[in-house]
């Protein structure tokens, strides 16, 4: 037996399904985290009364839609300051990035 992911895949292929217990689930989760490596970000929740842990894994692709505004903000950030009384910054720095597209791997 090489690892839990292959074992379960084999079971599903042979029987059409696989059943796992909590130990197998935990091993599977650890393998998945290792496999995801840098592409996945784990968010861990812990019940402070029971110590029960839940891990939620999000890939970069899943996170991206939620941070796109922030990414654009940082991409187009400039040092221009507002002129006069208003707090509105009137510069054309953003225009430089009109033809920039986010590259997806």
Question: Do residues 24 and 32 make contact, with C-beta atoms less than 8 angstroms apart?
Answer: no
Q: Of 32 and 72, which has the nearer Cβ to Zn ion?
A: 72
80 makes contact with Zn ion (CB under 5 A): yes
78 makes contact with Zn ion (CB under 5 A): yes
Nearest distance from C-beta of residue 23 to Zn ion, angstroms: 57
Q: Of 13 and 92, which has the nearer Cβ to Zn ion?
A: 92
Cβ neighbours for 20, distance < 8 A, ≥ 6 positions apart: 8, 28
Q: Which position among 63, 77, 83, 91 is part of the footprint of Zn ion (CB under 5 A)?
A: 91
The backbone torsions φ and ψ at residue 52, rounded to the nearest 5 degrees and listed phi first, read -65, 135
């Amino acid at each position: 037996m090489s690892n839990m992911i292959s074992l379960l895949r084999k079971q599903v292929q042979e029987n059409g399904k696989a059943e796992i217990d909590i130990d197998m689930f935990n091993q599977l989760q650890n393998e998945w985290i290792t496999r995801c490596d840098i592409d996945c970000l784990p968010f861990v929740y812990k019940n402070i009364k029971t110590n029960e842990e839940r891990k939620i894994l999000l890939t970069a692709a899943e996170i991206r839609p939620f941070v796109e505004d922030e990414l654009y903000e940082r991409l187009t950030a400039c040092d221009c300051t507002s002129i006069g009384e208003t707090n509105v910054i009137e510069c054309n720095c953003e225009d430089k990035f009109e033809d920039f597209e986010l590259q997806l791997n």
